[in-house]
Structure 1
């Protein structure tokens, strides 16, 4: 198949493109390098140094013998989107091309507006381009488990069967996002479902949990192919922060009680989930949702797991939570769709020992400790 990966220079987009190419698909990448610009804005850098896209693409051709066309442009530029689809003629489009950090969207009004405009309008441009150029194209889009929030009922895979006053219906699962970023993903999901229902498009929404890990079978084949490892308080994950703190001999900083529970998965499972979705497309008119996660942990459990796996003493401290979220909550997520397609999950405990601790140890000289401290608060500082 011909697959176009949007956001193909990013943390997940790049290894996904390599995985699809390695599995025999004719793959191209598209990016506007906004993620690299966020680093410049925030004064941070990936823990692991990454090459520019031109070098990456050339290295992949050298290693694999496979070409990977690269398109540089912005999804907000509708003409660019249309021209790219016409030129590459994809069978599937994998959409990672959005601002992806909840804290970034909560910095202030400007960042909230940017996130919603960038994400929602870019996806709308893409939906129109697919519909007008080739409605057979299968859109595989990265959503987020954060769309659901933390409801006090089981989280189904995108849809909910409802009985009310003696009548039944099937509707999109109610959403209760916790940031303007997550809210932009809810808008995307609604727009995609509308396009499938009204235009007969085919789309798969991958509501993904928190991804950990930095290595895939493809990225380890050459140092020029590595992907990002974010650890700062805006774009980094809590697990990456804990691993770095353990390696540096610092206390693991848990926000609040640590009872916040989230779904998680290994980066190798992420790229495989996308492959499975691409190779088993949704039907015309179908808006299909997969909850893309393999395990769930509370923040406290993550800290305890890092402490257990790390070969040395680890202290756990608790900080005031800068976010507005339930400190303790019910969390039971249905995630059978991708397993039924053949996903064989990796376990976090194995990945910590096999790769995450060694990667941090090799790159600990690049850590800026101050950048791990929380600076963005959810509540309006004027209140």
Structure 2
């Protein structure tokens, strides 16, 4: 299949492009390098050094013999989106090209507006391009488990069978997102569902949990193929932060009680989920949702796993939670769709031993410890 990966220079987009290429698909990557710009803005960098896209593409061709055509541009430029789809003529579009950090969206008004404008309008341009050029293109888009929030009922895979006043219907699962970033993903989901229903598009929405890990079989072939390892309080994930703190001998900083539960997934499973979705497309007119996670743990349980796996003493420290979220909540997520398609999940403790601690040890001199601590508060309206 011909697959266009949007955001193909990013943390997940790059290893996904390699995984799909390695599995025999004709892959092209598109990016505007905004993610690299966020590093400059925030004064941070990936723990693991990453090469520019042209170097990465050349390294992959050297190892695999396969070329990855590249398109540099912005989804907010509708003419560019249309031209790219016309030229590459994909069978599937994998969409990672959005601002992805909840804390970044909560810095202030400007960052909230940027996040929603960038994410929602970019995706809307893409939907129009698919609708007008080729409605057989299958859109596979990365959503987030954060769209759902933490409802006091089981979280179904995107849809809910509802009975009300003696009548039944199938409706999109109610959403209660926890940041302006997560809200942008909800708007995307509704726009996608509408265009599937109204125009007959085909789309798969992958509501993904927190991704951990930095290595896939393809990125491990050459240091030039490495993907990002974010650890700062804005773009880094809780697990990355805990692993770095353990290696540095710093306390693991748990926000609030630590009883907030997160859905988790290994990066190797993320790229495989994308492949499974691409190779098993939604039907015309179908808006399909998969909850892309493999296990769930509380923040405190994640800290305990890191502490148990690390070969040395580890302290755990509780900080005031900068986010507005329930400290105690029910969390039961249905996530059978991708397993039924063939996903064989990795579990959390495995990857820590195999790769994360050694990677951090090799690069610990690159850590700016001040960036590990939260600076964005959900209770503040920030600056305009």
TM-score (norm 2): 0.99
Mind listing any 5+ residue stretches in structure 2 that lack a counterpart? none
The alignment status of 1:258 with 2:258, answered yes or no, reads yes
Q: Provide the residue aligned with 1:103 in structure 2.
A: 103
Distance in 2 (alpha carbons) for counterparts of 1:213 and 1:242: 12
Q: Provide the residue aligned with 2:297 in structure 1.
A: 297
Distance in 2 (alpha carbons) for counterparts of 1:300 and 1:372: 17
Q: Provide the residue aligned with 1:92 in structure 2.
A: 92
The alignment status of 1:234 with 2:234, answered yes or no, reads yes
Tell me the matched-pair count. 382
**Contact 2:108–2:381, Cα closer than 8 Å, also in 1:** no
Q: Provide the residue aligned with 1:55 in structure 2.
A: 55
**Contact 2:6–2:96, Cα closer than 8 Å, also in 1:** yes
Please give the per-residue CA displacement for 1:163-196, whole angstroms capped at 9, x wherever unaligned: 0000000000000000000000000000000000
Cα deviation, residue 380, structure 1: 2.2
Q: Provide the residue aligned with 2:16 in structure 1.
A: 16
**Contact 2:109–2:381, Cα closer than 8 Å, also in 1:** no
Residue aligned with 1:262, SS: strand
Distance in 2 (alpha carbons) for counterparts of 1:255 and 1:33: 31
**Contact 2:15–2:227, Cα closer than 8 Å, also in 1:** yes
Distance in 1 (alpha carbons) for counterparts of 2:59 and 2:168: 55
Distance in 1 (alpha carbons) for counterparts of 2:250 and 2:2: 47
Cα deviation, residue 82, structure 1: 0.1
Q: Provide the residue aligned with 1:118 in structure 2.
A: 118
Q: Provide the residue aligned with 1:185 in structure 2.
A: 185
Distance in 1 (alpha carbons) for counterparts of 2:371 and 2:315: 20
The alignment status of 1:33 with 2:33, answered yes or no, reads yes
Q: Provide the residue aligned with 2:132 in structure 1.
A: 132
The alignment status of 1:353 with 2:348, answered yes or no, reads no
**Contact 2:5–2:28, Cα closer than 8 Å, also in 1:** yes
Residue aligned with 2:94, SS: strand
Please give the per-residue CA displacement for 1:6-49, whole angstroms capped at 9, x wherever unaligned: 00000000000000000000000000000000000000000000
The alignment status of 1:172 with 2:164, answered yes or no, reads no
> Where do 4+ consecutive residues of structure 1 move more than 3 Å?
none
Mind listing any 5+ residue stretches in structure 1 that lack a counterpart? none
Please give the per-residue CA displacement for 1:285-333, whole angstroms capped at 9, x wherever unaligned: 0000000000101000000010000000000000000000000100000
Residue aligned with 2:141, SS: strand
The alignment status of 1:326 with 2:326, answered yes or no, reads yes
Residue aligned with 1:15, SS: helix
Residue aligned with 1:244, SS: helix
Residue aligned with 1:143, SS: strand
TM-score (norm 1): 0.99
Cα deviation, residue 381, structure 1: 5.3
